[in-house]
Amino acid sequence: MLFPVILAGGHGSRLWPLSRQQHPKQFLPLLDTSMSMLQATLKRLDGLKSAPPLLICNEQHRFLAAEQVRQLNGQQAQILLEPMGRNTAPAIALAALYASEQAAGEHAEDVVLLALPADHAIEDVPAFHAAVNAALPLARAGKLVTFGIPPSRAETGYGYLRRGQAIGQTGGFEVAQFVEKPDREKAEGYLAAGGYDWNSGIFLFQAKHYLQELARFQPEVLTACRVALAGSQRDLDFIRLDAEAFAACPDISVDYGVMEHTSVAAMVPLKAGWSDVGSWSALAEVQGRDEQGNTLRGDVLTEQVGNCLIHAESRLVTALGVRDLMIVETKDAVLVAHKDREQDVKRLVARLEAQGRQEHIIHRECYRPWGKFDAIDSGPRYQVKRITVNPGASLSLQMHHHRAEHWVVVSGTARITQGEQTRLLTENQSVYIPLGQRHALENPGKIPLELIEVQSGSYLGEDDIVRFEDHYGRKT
């Protein structure tokens, strides 16, 4: 049984300011405006004979992940929540343990995991399926298979695999060496020498063989994952791990933890238009360039501009007489950087974190299980938001200790609860919620409810919410 595992726990800091901790790149429509990268990864499984996938993501992204799965009509996926990030070796261990439990009995021996990052691009899906099917016999023979990408350039942003001997007539190779991300000179040497492939981070192996190798090289990871999964609980559509047990798990990647140590690592070439979309240049490579070498998205006007990536999210961006730049505009942040420094964007993110800022964590527009809000404006003792509530959705019954709220309905119908009273409001009607009053908001209609919220008070943080009832199981 082929059991796909979608790894959706990363933050994608090199794609800041588009990718943020609470809305990272796997949930963004970077390549296709009709679906996110996670949704494209799930759709990529269509045509493979496999069980419904297991999606592993961070707890804070649970509703975002669930909504994106729901939007793919007919798509099924189980969602396992990590209370904190512990990298890919533990995530895949959890998947191997869970899949073995689900298969049970004789079938547990046959479970083959296909571990896929949720934020990769693959242009040729049939070629991807062919590579997976070619790798299955190797996996069933006890190999831990990774997929190597034949390099098209001297890339310093990827790790490499050095090919060993061919494995019979399978089309696969032994992995002679895992190579760290090289400098420019080494990368050019690998390209010239041949026999080196980019490490895709996609894996295929039997669950039992991965667990055996994990027990040999990272027994603490296996122990912590067993305890965390044994103590897991169902919460709505989610599987919640035992947080205390999982916190004790070492933070280590599958490459460092297992693949670089095992003697049964194998590689199958993958020629399918792959990219990890891990940097702005990688995104430009996938999105394509114009005759001047530019990648332009959004409302952009240029004059005498070459080899630039310019992304405008919310307003007009103009550029004149510049080359080799990345210019990325969002509603609350702008990045301007030379293309040679794209691998250092994460250093800016680290400085934002060190300064206690929020721009690396949240967008101005934030998604919630009931819809979203856009923080339009703020100042001392006030904040203005545009709120969208999905049809049939509702905010929790709540109150605030430090702020009052004034709601104005722009479109749709709102069912408002204030204390013991409930009433309907429609377009151009408004309501005032005094500080300390219990209140709730629901969209009983068939179209999105749009309203403007004006908050006023001494403290306007999102943590000033006391919930009494919540359809989504939230307490904070």
pLDDT at residue 109 above 80? no
Q: Fill in the DSSP letter of residue 26.
A: G
When mean pLDDT is compared across 9-13, 317-321, 418-422, the lowest value belongs to 9-13
Number of helical H runs and strand E runs in the chain: 11, 30
Backbone angles phi, psi at 230, to 5 degrees: -60, -30
pTM score: 0.89
Q: Is residue 151 part of a domain?
A: yes
Q: At what angle do helices 207-217 and 219-230 cross, to 10 degrees?
A: 120
- Please state the domain count of the chain: 3
Whether residues 69 and 198 share a domain: the answer is yes
CB-based burial label for 446 (10 Å; 0-12, 13-18, 19+): exposed
- Position 236 scores a pLDDT of 77
Do 34 and 70 share a domain, yes or no?
Answer: yes
Residue 106 has pLDDT above 80, yes or no: no
For 252-263, write each residue's pLDDT tens digit: 999 999 999 999
Domain annotation covers residue 360: no
Q: Is 112 exposed, middle or buried (0-12, 13-18, 19+ CB in 10 A)?
A: buried
Give the CA distances from residue 211 to residues 60, 84, 135, 268, in Å, rounded to whole numbers and listed in that order. 28, 21, 19, 21
C-alpha to C-alpha distance for 440 and 417, rounded to whole angstroms: 5
**Over the stretch 269-318, which tens digit does the pLDDT of each residue have?**
999 999 999 889 889 989 999 999 999 999 999 999 999 999 999 999 99
Boundary (domain end) residue, out of 275, 298, 329: 275
Report which secondary-structure segment, H or E, holds 295: strand 295-297
- What percent of the residues of the chain are helix, what percent strand, and what percent coil, each to the nearest 5? 30, 35, 40
- The answer to whether residues 95 and 217 belong to one domain is yes
User: Which domain-ending residue is among 353, 381, 399?
Assistant: 353
474 domain residue, yes or no = no
Whether 152 and 286 have beta carbons less than 8 Å apart is answered as no
Q: Does residue 377 sit in the same domain as residue 263?
A: no
DSSP lists the bridge partners of residue 121 as 275
Distance (Å, whole) CA 265 – CA 203: 10
Please state, for a pLDDT cut of 90, what percent of the chain lies above it.
Answer: 83
What pLDDT is stored for residue 309 in this prediction?
97
Given a cut of 60, is residue 414 above it in pLDDT? yes
Q: How confident is the model at residue 412 (pLDDT cuts 50, 70, 90)?
A: very high
- Does 242 have pLDDT greater than 80? yes
* Mean of pLDDT values over 444-473: 92
Q: What is the 3-state secondary structure (H, E, C) of 97-132?
A: HHHHHHHCHHHHHHCEEEEEECCCEECCHHHHHHHH
**68-79: pLDDT as tens digits:** 998 898 778 899
What pLDDT does residue 247 have? 96
pLDDT score at 156:
85
Kindly state whether residue 359 falls inside one of the protein's structural domains. Answer: no
Per-residue b/e over 19-41, b at no fewer than 16 CB within 10 Å?
Answer: bbbbbbbbbbebbeeebbbbbbb
Distance CA 237, CA 80 (A): 9
Q: What pLDDT is recorded for position 157?
A: 83
- pLDDT score, position 367: 86
Same domain flag for 240 and 316: no
> Does the pLDDT of residue 345 top 80, yes or no?
yes
In a domain, 231, yes or no: yes
pLDDT tens, residue by residue, 349-370: 999 999 999 999 999 988 888 9
**Residue range 20-32: average pLDDT?**
92
For residue 292, the enclosing domain spans 280-353
For 202, counting Cβ atoms within 10 Å of its Cβ (0-12 exposed, 13-18 middle, 19+ buried), the class is buried
Instruction: State mean pLDDT over 49-67.
Output: 93
Residue 80: is its pLDDT beyond 70?
yes
d(C-alpha 4, C-alpha 49), whole Å: 10
Mean pLDDT of 195-203: 94
339 lies in the same domain as 393:
no
Q: With H, G, I as helix, E, B as strand and everything else as coil, classify residue 261.
A: coil
CATH of the domain at 453: 2.60.120.10
Residue carrying structure tokens 């509702």:
394
pLDDT tens digits for 115-152? 999 999 999 999 999 999 999 999 999 999 999 999 99
Same domain? For 12 and 147 the reply is: yes
CA atoms within 13 A on the CB side of 48: 27
pLDDT > 60? residue 447: yes
Residues 284 and 262 in one domain: no
Q: For 33-56, what is each residue's pLDDT tens digit?
A: 789 999 999 999 999 999 999 999
Task: Note whether residue 135 is domain-resident.
Answer: yes
Q: Is the pLDDT of residue 58 over 90?
A: yes
Residue 476 has pLDDT above 70, yes or no: no
| Residue pair 333/17 in contact by the 8 Å Cβ criterion | yes
pLDDT tens for 164-174 read 999 988 889 99
Residue 292 and residue 271 share a domain? no
Per the prediction, the chain carries an average pLDDT of: 93
Q: Which of 353, 374, 394 is the last residue of a domain?
A: 353
End-to-end CA distance of the chain: 39
Spatial contact of 314 and 332, defined as CB atoms under 8 Å apart: no
- Domain identity same for 143 and 231: yes
CATH label of the domain that carries residue 255? 3.90.550.10
Q: Are residues 339 and 372 in the same domain?
A: no
Residues 348 and 385 in one domain: no
Cα-based distances in Å from 394 to 8, 177, 362, 399: 27, 53, 22, 15
What is residue 426's predicted lDDT score, i.e. its pLDDT?
97
Does residue 358 fall inside a structural domain? Answer: no
Return the DSSP state at 306. B
Q: How far apart are CA 449 and CA 58, in angstroms?
A: 29
